[in-house]
Amino acid sequence: MKFFKFLLLLIVLGGCAAAYFFYVPYGPSTETFVDIPAGTGTAGIAARLANAGVISNKYVFEAVRATQGGVLKAGEYRFDHPATVAEVYARIAKGDVYTREVSVPEGFNLFDIAAAVEAAGLGTKDAFLTAAHNDTRLIADLSPGAASLEGYLFPDTYRFSRHTTPDQMVAAMVKRFRAVVLPLGLTSTQDVSRTVIMASLVEKEVSVASERPLVAGVFENRLAQHIPLATDPTVIYAAMLAGRWRGTIYRSDLDYDSPYNTYKHAGLPPGPICNAGVAAFRAAISPAKTDYLYFVADAAGHSRFSTNLKDHSAAVQEYRKATEH
């Protein structure tokens, strides 16, 4: 009789222990990250979780694996509250990896995006820039001979895991470009390349959406009359490419002989200078039909448009007077 009582006690205690390990939430109450490299087996995953304090016992995780099955996904996982072993297992089987946000506003160039990627803890600026220059095959049908993916990394908010490579990041941004921009009305290789360049100029020159078609129209009029575009953002971009940008435009920048310097070279620059948004692309595709050849910002942040140099010079003087006070 005593033996049976003892056996019953063992069964009860074993059941309680099993219930504790399987069904009682365990784990950190503060943010904890667990990295599971590709190819890690069940025992390795269980050990990592136990060592991080996410689960109380690695063998219980292995037991759940034996009953649940499924494929456990590699990646970085974030745990910030206690959970049962079954809940932890379900997250890893689902691939609920932790992602980091990379915001790419309209007008960001390659250097800006690279800095944002590095700030998000997703790699170095240099690694991203290398991918953006090496992976031009992604746009070979849109811009043959492109030197980089500048202009084709669509502005949006992206979420990447820590294991996402720079190649995968730029591929996601180009994919977004194709999904959003191409349906706007681009019909040929020549149209795409030229329009992407024009949209990037419009994006950098004006922030008021209603004025973008007018600015695009000014650029088209100047191109038609072989007048240099003389736009400051191209000078800035040329300086950035040369590693000489100092935060403001100097006379030496205006004199710098780069094909991107539209003060020295007529026509469009050889490539985009930033990654434009939808409004700039719409303006580049359908520029306003006017006689304007000049524009300058006014004190309110809008643009003043002129058909001749005399009126433009007067508008420039007004702007300078307004900004002196």
Average pLDDT over residues 100-118: 98
SS3 5: helix
pLDDT at res. 205: 94
Q: Are 18-94 and 99-180 in the same CATH fold?
A: yes
Average pLDDT over residues 291-314: 88
Can you list the positions of beta strands (E) in 236-323? 294-297, 303-306
CATH number given to 99-180: 3.30.1490
The length of the chain in residues reads: 325
Q: How far apart are CA 69 and CA 42, in angstroms?
A: 11
* Structural domain boundaries in the chain: 18-94, 99-180, 206-290
Q: 0.75 cut: is pTM over it?
A: yes
Q: How far apart are CA 168 and CA 131, in angstroms?
A: 9
pLDDT at res. 8: 39
Q: Say whether pLDDT at 1 is over 90.
A: no
pLDDT at res. 12: 37
pLDDT in tens, 11-69: 433 443 444 455 678 878 788 999 999 999 999 999 999 999 999 989 999 999 988 87
Q: Say whether pLDDT at 7 is over 60.
A: no
Q: How far apart are CA 215 and CA 203, in angstroms?
A: 10
Question: Sign of the C-alpha dihedral, residues 217, 223, 225, 231?
Answer: positive
Within 13 Å of residue 229, how many CA atoms lie on the same side as its CB? 26
pLDDT in tens, 252-285: 999 999 999 999 999 999 999 999 999 999 999 9
Q: Say whether pLDDT at 9 is over 80.
A: no
Asked if 235 and 263 touch (Cβ cutoff 8 Å), the reply is yes
Looking at domain 18-94, which CATH architecture does it have?
Answer: 2-Layer Sandwich (3.30)
